Amino acid sequence: MRLAPRPRKNLLFWLGVIVFLLSMSLWSARGIGFSLTELVCNLTDGSRLLRESWPPDLAFLARLVDPMLETVFIAVVGTVVGGIFAIPVAVLAARNLTPNRLTWFADRNFMNILRTLPDLFWAMLFATAVGFGPVAGALALTVFTVAVISKLYSESLESIDMGLPEAIRAVGGSWLQMIQFGALPQALQHYVSYALYAFELNIRASVVLGLVGAGGIGMILETQRANFEYERVTMIILAVLVAVLMIEEVSESIRKRLT
Amino acid sequence: MSSHSDLLRQPGPPIGFATIVTFVIALMFIVSMFAIGFTPGQMAEVPAGVARVLSFFWPVDMAYGWDRVLPAIVESIQIAWIGTIIAALLSLPLALFGARTLFPRVARVVKLISATARAFPEILLAIYFVPIVGLGPFAGALAIGISSVGMLTKLGAEVVDSLDFGTVEAVEAAGGSRILALRWAVLPQVLPEIIAHWLFRFELNIRASAVLGVVGAGGVGGVLLNVVLAIDMISGEIRRRIIRS
């Protein structure tokens, strides 16, 4: 039996991609002093810090409850507010839905600027604007959430089936109705999983935000680390791990039932 | 015999799961707003405060010089690249075996690994790597790599979970093994989305390496923006090409 000939790929294109990837990797590896021998040889004596981090200080757990809750509160506010604002930003940045090219261009650049600035920058910005504390953290995470969800969601919106939105336009629906009934529901499943993903990112980000005084469990982490209490640091990480696992479990079941 | 009034008395659609979830989220949101001590008065101060802070960043200190900024940016791109390559290589097999629809047992273990990797903030991971490889960009790249493995594995496994299993069944019906099905049915379907996640992660990692203290804040904003713009364009182009071919 003869199999049908396999479709020829654009060989030159893929060769170019591979050469680019390899040379980029070699250049970067040299630039940062990547060395496998260094990593392997020093693994044993360099792991002193890891030995100090074990066993976790279980007694410390009681003092983690309040900051952990604060972390969750900050993440909830950031995700909800940011998730709502991300929808219009994503729609205007989707090539197939945006009303005109100018809006698309402006919004796309707005999104890029949001994503360029790191979350710590936003945390410091809002900490100086409204004072150190959880509100600054929540504001920073709001911006961060808009940045993450709008980018991912606009890509999902670009890959929807345009038949339905066009049908709505054809029967006289307005642009807003086309978006509301034709476009958004098609990518709803993606939106839900991006929002849950952003929530998890926010829980983790608020650990980092604590380092600049924006509230949450990160503040405790930073004090314990500065005092070389690595057994307590491990305990904090374990608490975050449990939180992340729980959120993942919940988000999994929500996504399964909504779709 | 059912009459018209019987039909009318039939219960409407039950309150949907989505409604309950929305309600719970709204409730959590309100509780959280109170808990973090949010006041509307504070919001009124935000624009002025933000404007004040932003004014510190203007005008750009051109005297600081490109020759000092540019190497730092190059280094942070290199860190992000190595970190992303490490993460991509490690996370691809993990993501395939982490799909609970294909490998229900292995998926549990993979999930625990990826959750553990995600629980460590990058800054802390870097601190753990410093005694091993010394203070410098290599430690940063390893830290970024490990923390990206967690996220890429999770996102990749979700992509695999959500795909159409007709092709997998077709391969197995034709006598192929699970592994063959992975190569010929799963991989071609999930690769465009997984590559998009890699590129997005690369972009996030450039920012993360900036946070790791390689690049000081200030004049780099403009250049960093150009890099993000370029990656954005490249990623879109690659996605389109892969989807077409």
Arithmetic mean of pLDDT over chain B: 76
pLDDT value for B220: 43
Has the ipTM of the complex gone over 0.90? no
pLDDT > 80? residue B153: yes
pLDDT value for A91: 92
Residues of B whose CB is below 8 A from A133: 36-37
Closest Cβ opposite residue A155 in set B17, B21, B196 = B196
Rg of chain B over all Cα atoms, to the nearest angstrom: 25
In a domain, B31, yes or no: no
Domain count, chain B: 1
Residues of A whose CB is below 8 A from B81: 24-25, 28
Residues of A whose CB is below 8 A from B53: 124-125, 128-129
Residue position matching structure tokens 């600081």: B64
pLDDT value for B217: 35
Mean pLDDT of all residues in A25-36: 84
Give the pLDDT band of residue A87 (cuts 50, 70, 90): very high
Report the chain A residue with the minimal C-alpha distance to residue B236. A155
User: Token pair for residue A195?
Assistant: 């929002």
Distance from CA of B4 to the nearest CA of A (A): 32
Domain boundaries, position B119 = 67-244
Closest Cβ opposite residue B137 in set A32, A139, A254 = A32
pLDDT > 80? residue B214: no
Structural domains of chain A, with CATH: 58-258 (1.10.3720.10)
DSSP letters of B94-126? HHHHT-TTT-HHHHHHHHHHHHHHHHS-HHHHH
Q: Which of A188, A103, A127 is nearest to A153 (CA)?
A: A188
Query: Taking CB atoms and an 8 Å limit, are A115 and B133 in contact across chains?
Result: no
User: Token pair for residue A214?
Assistant: 């924006």
User: Token pair for residue A236?
Assistant: 């904090």
Between A and B, how many CB-CB pairs are < 8 A? 182
pLDDT value for B100: 81
Q: Residues near A141 by Cβ (< 8 Å), separated by ≥ 6?
A: A74, A75, A77, A78, A79, A82, A119, A202, A205, A206, A209
In a domain, B48, yes or no: no
Give the pLDDT band of residue A2 (cuts 50, 70, 90): low
Query: Taking CB atoms and an 8 Å limit, are A73 and B31 in contact across chains?
Result: yes
Choice between A255 and A197, residue whose per-residue pLDDT is larger: A197
pLDDT tens-digit series, residues B186-209:
888 888 888 888 988 888 888 777
Query: Taking CB atoms and an 8 Å limit, are B131 and A257 in contact across chains?
Result: no
Closest Cβ opposite residue A130 in set B42, B120, B203 = B42
pLDDT tens-digit series, residues A145-170:
999 899 889 988 888 888 889 999 89
Distance from CA of B104 to the nearest CA of A (A): 14
CATH no. for residue B224? Answer: 1.10.3720.10
pLDDT > 60? residue B15: yes
CB-neighbour burial class of residue B195 (10 A; exposed 0-12, middle 13-18, buried 19+)? middle
- Asked if residues A128 and A146 have their Cβ atoms less than 8 Å apart, the reply is no
pLDDT tens-digit series, residues A214-240:
777 887 887 777 777 788 888 888 888
Percent of chain B residues past pLDDT 70, beyond the cut? 74
Residues of B whose CB is below 8 A from A152: 200
In a domain, B4, yes or no: no
- The lowest-confidence range among A17-31, B46-60, B196-210 is B46-60
In a domain, B49, yes or no: no
Closest Cβ opposite residue B158 in set A69, A139, A193 = A193
pLDDT value for B10: 54
Task: Kindly list the distances between the CA atom of residue B16 and the CA atoms of A179, A237, B20, B22, in Å, as whole numbers in the listed order.
Answer: 23, 37, 7, 10
Choice between B215 and B66, residue whose per-residue pLDDT is larger: B66
Mean pLDDT of all residues in A117-132: 77
DSSP letters of chain A? -PPPPPPPP-HHHHHHHHHHHHHHHHHHHHHHT--HHHHHHTTTGGGHHHHHT-S--GGGGGGGHHHHHHHHHHHHHHHHHHHHHHHHHHHHH-TTT-SSHHHHHHHHHHHHHHHHS-HHHHHHHHHHHH-SSHHHHHHHHHHHHHHHHHHHHHHHHHTS-THHHHHHHHTT--HHHIIIIIIGGGGHHHHHHHHHHHHHHHHHHHHHHGGGT-SSHHHHHHHHHHTT-HHHHHHHHHHHHHHHHHHHHHHHHHHHHH-
Does a cis peptide bond (omega within 30 degrees of 0) precede residue A7?
no
Q: Cα(B200)–Cα(B235) distance, rounded to whole angstroms?
A: 8
Mean pLDDT of all residues in A175-182: 90
Distance from CA of A169 to the nearest CA of B (A): 26
In a domain, B186, yes or no: yes
pLDDT value for A231: 83
Mean pLDDT of all residues in B147-152: 89
Give the pLDDT band of residue A77 (cuts 50, 70, 90): very high
Closest Cβ opposite residue B225 in set A112, A238, A244 = A112
Give the pLDDT band of residue B60 (cuts 50, 70, 90): low
Q: Cα(B153)–Cα(A145) distance, rounded to whole angstroms?
A: 21
In a domain, B109, yes or no: yes
pLDDT value for B211: 64
CA angle at A22 for the pair A21 and A27, rounded to the nearest 5°? 100
In a domain, B81, yes or no: yes
Choice between A123 and A88, residue whose per-residue pLDDT is larger: A88
pLDDT value for B51: 81
